[in-house]
């Protein structure tokens, strides 16, 4: 097992759940991303994800270097395509969009990215990525040209997650898409969690710590927030997220 996955599993073991902050290189310049990263380290965030389903900027390399340097936190690429690779990252969520039926995002982009990931020695964390309907058409839905799983189709979500684990995914990520109006339904989180043994990441549209804590109590092992902090850059909000997430599950 790679160091970063092991680190994440230890966090889950110690704190019940972990908190991942997502930085989108199109929404931040290097300086503001570095400030956010410094605040993350002070606020007890567990790791930083960098990326987006669609990237206009070419800031990935310098941003990852700077964020790593100022925060000392693990930096994990959250890729939208095979171009989103950086030799400076500690790991990459090797996402297969298993809720969709677009071969490019199931295996095509992976084939294109694999040689560089291998060459740079980046730890790849195989992750079954499931897009859930979140009240609007998000960038990931549009760019991936895949249909999200309807919010009320809990059984369909559960079957996808089981299939992901059986295929060897080391994590399952339930995602409503960045900036979604609604977050993943709690009932879906608990139903999926009941049927899988690998860690469950939940993200998209989570805007307050109470909501994050609830998701952890329903079974999320890692919570991702992006937009809410990018807009406010609020250190105390970040601390609140970390503390609620780290204390929501009885140890
Ligand atoms: C998106 O899950 C992440 O991939 C974070 O979403 O920006 O809505 O917090 P938000």
195 CA to centre of ligand 1 in angstroms:
24
pLDDT exceeds 90 at position 247: yes
Residue 114 pLDDT level (bands cut at 50, 70, 90):
very high
The average pLDDT across 164-177 equals 98
pLDDT value at residue 233 = 63
Q: Which residue of 80, 93, 177 sits with most ligand 1 atoms within 8 Å of its CB, as the best mutation to test the pocket?
A: 177
Q: Whose CA is nearest to atom 4 of ligand 1?
A: 178
Indicate if ligand 1 lies below 6 Å from the C-beta of 228.
yes
206 CA to centre of ligand 1 in angstroms:
7
* Angle at alpha carbon of residue 60, lines to 69 and 112, rounded to 5°: 125
Indicate if ligand 1 lies below 6 Å from the C-beta of 224.
yes
pLDDT exceeds 70 at position 48: yes
The average pLDDT across 89-114 equals 98
Indicate if ligand 1 lies below 6 Å from the C-beta of 229.
no
Q: List, as one string, the DSSP characters of the chain.
A: --HHHHHHHHHHHHHSSEEEEEE-TTT--HHHHHHHHHHHHHTT--EEEEE-SS-----HHHHHHHHHHHH-S-EEEE-SSTT---TT-SEEEEEEETTS--HIIIIIHHHHHHHHHHHHTPEEEEEEEEEB--SS--HHHHHHT-PPBPTT-HHHHHHHHHHHHHTT-SEEEEE--TT-SS---HHHHHHHHHH--S-EEEESS--SHHHHHHHHHTT-SEEEE-HHHHHH--HHHHHHHHHHHHHSS--
pLDDT exceeds 90 at position 231: no
Indicate if ligand 1 lies below 6 Å from the C-beta of 127.
no
Indicate if ligand 1 lies below 6 Å from the C-beta of 34.
no
The radius of gyration computed from the CA coordinates of the chain, to the nearest angstrom, equals: 16
Residue 232 pLDDT level (bands cut at 50, 70, 90):
low
pLDDT exceeds 70 at position 251: no
Indicate if ligand 1 lies below 6 Å from the C-beta of 220.
no
Ligand 1, closest atom to CA 175?
2
Residue 27 pLDDT level (bands cut at 50, 70, 90):
very high
Within 13 A of 247's CA, how many CA atoms are on the CB side? Answer: 9
Share of the chain above pLDDT 70, in %: 98
How does the average pLDDT of the chain come out, rounded?
96
**pLDDT digit string, tens, across residues 181-227:** 999 999 999 999 999 999 999 999 999 999 999 999 999 999 999 99
Ligand 1, closest atom to CA 230?
7
Find the farthest-apart pair of alpha carbons in the chain and give their distance in angstroms, rounded: 44
pLDDT value at residue 249 = 87
**pLDDT digit string, tens, across residues 63-82:** 999 999 999 999 999 999 99
What token pair was written down for 249? 């599950």
Q: Which of 227, 229, 159 is nearest to 194 (CA)?
A: 159
């Amino acid at each position: 097992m790679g160091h970063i996955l092991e680190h994440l599993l230890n966090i889950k073991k110690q704190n019940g759940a972990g908190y991942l902050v997502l930085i989108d290189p199109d929404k931040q310049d290097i300086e503001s991303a570095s400030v956010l990263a410094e605040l993350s380290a002070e606020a007890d965030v567990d790791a930083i994800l960098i990326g987006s389903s669609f990237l206009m900027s070419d800031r990935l390399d310098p941003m990852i270097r700077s964020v790593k340097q100022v925060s000392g936190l693990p930096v994990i690429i959250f890729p939208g395509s095979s171009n989103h690779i950086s030799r400076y990252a500690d790991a990459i969520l090797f996402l297969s969009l298993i809720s969709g039926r677009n071969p490019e995002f199931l295996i095509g982009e992976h084939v294109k990215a694999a040689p560089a990931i291998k060459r740079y020695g980046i730890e790849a964390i195989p992750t079954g990525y499931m897009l859930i309907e979140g009240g609007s058409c998000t960038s990931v839905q549009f760019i991936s040209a895949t249909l999200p799983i309807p919010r009320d189709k809990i059984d369909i979500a559960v079957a996808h997650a089981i299939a992901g684990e059986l295929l060897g995914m080391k994590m399952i990520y339930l995602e409503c898409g960045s900036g979604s109006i609604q977050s993943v339904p709690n009932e879906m989180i608990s139903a999926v969690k009941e049927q899988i043994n690998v860690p469950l990441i939940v993200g998209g549209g989570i805007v307050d710590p109470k909501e994050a804590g609830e998701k952890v109590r329903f079974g999320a092992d890692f919570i991702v927030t992006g937009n809410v902090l990018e807009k406010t850059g609020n250190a105390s909000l970040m601390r609140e997220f970390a503390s609620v997430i780290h204390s929501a599950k009885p140890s």
